[in-house]
Amino acid sequence: MDNTRRFYINGEWVEPASSETLAVLDPATEQPIATIALGNGEDVDRAVTAARKAFPAFSTTTRDERIALLERVIEVYQARAGDLAAALTQEMGAPVTLAAQAQVPAGLGQFATALDSLRKFEFEEKVGTSTVVHEPIGVCGLITPWNWPPLLITAKVAPALAAGATMVLKPSELAPLNALVFAEILHEAGVPAGVFNLVNGDGPTVGAALSSHPEVDMISFTGSTRAGIEVAKNAAPTVKRVAQELGGKSANILLDDADLRTVIPRDMDSVCANSGQSCNAGSRFLVPVARMDEAVAIAKAAAEAMVTGPPEDPATQLGPLVSQAAFDKVQRLIQSAIDEGATVATGGLGRPDGLDAGYYVKPTVVAGVTQDMTIAREEIFGPVITLTAYEDEDDAVRIANDTIYGLSGFVSSGDIDRARAIARRMRTGMVHVNGAGLDFNAPFGGYKQSGNGREYAEHGLKEFLETKSVFGDNTV
């Protein structure tokens, strides 16, 4: 790629102020595939200045102008879909099928729903004798992780463009190549200079400079709860808006009338997709005491049927984790489960047989997990599920809610009304009933330490808008 050592600022690929660089590794081979420039505070300041300069003109564009812009972005995005997918397979180990059929289309879906929301949204409304106006918030700092890059980048960029805001993006330094392709897409689509800017770098340097910058009006952050707390601290002195999508430890309640032979393999496929690297993964399976032996046997068979291997192989379901640190964390949590008395039904420590290099993790089922265990409390972010027994519905809900997180939840039952009743008792921002997937038209976000914002469609658009009351504007 031509632009790995440059940043996209004010409509141009520019040389960085910093001389720092970082090797990007292929997690399947542990070998370097590119070297990127790492920015510093000066680079952030240049990007923010460009976004601030572009804001007055872009914020006053018409709805029709922004609709046309999003339509052009969608057209170019579709043309470059293959380049995005190839970057994802190389830099984060996404299997080719997952990259082409899930990762890249998810980003396209965010643009489609943002476009639909823009067409429908009422930017002005009459209330009493006043007019309430929804206006673009200003310059936005966007900080995104590496696990679902097209989805997580577009879930911020698409509504920001729809709102008329300008922005500076800091993608993850672990998987930055797809973001460079994305910047090329926006440039080719004709996004005005300064409206979108990209600076690569790490969190303590570029992330901190962006979140503390006095000319940034909003930070939209997706990542770990630990990092989100630091972002909020950095943003606090300038009282900017902070919207956060953070970690999760989602419970999957299997009610006693659920068809376990259908539900468990289905939900394990969902958890282990993307090698388990999803913040909303329902990895805590809660099972009736009387059905635990049955559940363990089904889960064990399902895990052992999964194909882990090189991401370029179309037969591969699970590729490697993204980094050595990610691999080490999953190994630590599996070891902690063993040390604390749980049972590894299948999988476990080390790489799968035949994979001697790369950050591969065995699809793992851990049974006999109780709420006091480390693996029941910490986010795993790998292809690992835990099985915990419960006594009755009240006990299941209690266990599900016994966590600092509240991103997502899952419940399955042969009685849809019963499942819906349990869903309403779960203290999470989202609940999947009987295997339902995400709906890009509905808000995405969590309770408690899983965050404080909402993304997708109209709710995502509103995050990038300020609300103004004009009194006396609706009088005769």
To which H or E segment does residue 37 belong?
strand 31-37
Q: Which residue, chain included where needed, has tokens 């973001």?
A: 179
CA distance 235 to 215: 11
Distant-in-sequence, close-in-space partners of 120: CB < 8 Å, separation ≥ 6: 458
Reference 4, options 178, 167, 156, 154; nearest CA is 178
245 carries an active-site annotation: yes
Could you report how far apart the first and last alpha carbons of the chain are, in Å?
61
Catalytic residue among 140, 173, 184, 279: 279
DSSP string computed for 243-292:
EEE-----EEEE-TTS-HHHHHHHHHHHHHGGGG--TT---EEEEEGGGH
Q: How many CB atoms lie within 10 A of CB 310?
A: 18
Q: How many CB atoms lie within 10 A of CB 168?
A: 32
Catalytic residue among 91, 173, 184, 245: 245
Q: Can you name the residues that pair with 135 across neighbouring β-strands?
A: 466
184 carries an active-site annotation: no
What number of residues does the chain have?
476
Helices first, then strands: H and E counts in the chain: 16, 21
Residues forming the active site: 245, 279
